[in-house]
Structure 1
């Protein structure tokens, strides 16, 4: 059945839409749905950003501020190796034994035995 202008006018009087109005309504419906979806997604993104900001603020309150970094130092100073690493000579050993005896680390008997061993007696 062909829709003539007379029939279209008759239909509009009954409350039905004409053929020309249907694409406009469809476009309005699709456009409105897209607009609503865009608003909803923007609202969700904004809500998520607000939550992340609130979490960051709470974490900032809970953690104490980090201590300042240590001051930069100059180049390391080379340390000389200890002199005790070298083997003591035969003349230094009796002097060292005498110092140990004066400090009370060796008894007089131990001092005499060590001195005799050094001298080969």
Structure 2
């Protein structure tokens, strides 16, 4: 380990932070980010999907598929969930590929970063 990494680790420990050195992305991360970025452009929410998705997610982490099913239009909700993930109104762990079983939670939920 280089001297700079060791020094950064010590500073992080002194502040009570966790410290990791990331040397590269997992293979699926670029695919997930590409998919999320596909929903970055402004849209008009004529069906009120944003409110439905955020209300359903408000109870805590839900699998992506269940969150979509909790709305009146699950197929449309899937696109809005991806949009809300991109705009960081919802959170998801990028440690594994995005799927129906991926846990999704509201941004700023306790215990989530």
- For Structure 1 versus Structure 2, the TM-score category normalised by the shorter chain is under 0.3
Select the structure of larger CA radius of gyration. 1
Q: Which structure dedicates a bigger proportion of its chain to helix?
A: 1
What TM-score do the two structures reach when normalised by structure 2?
0.22
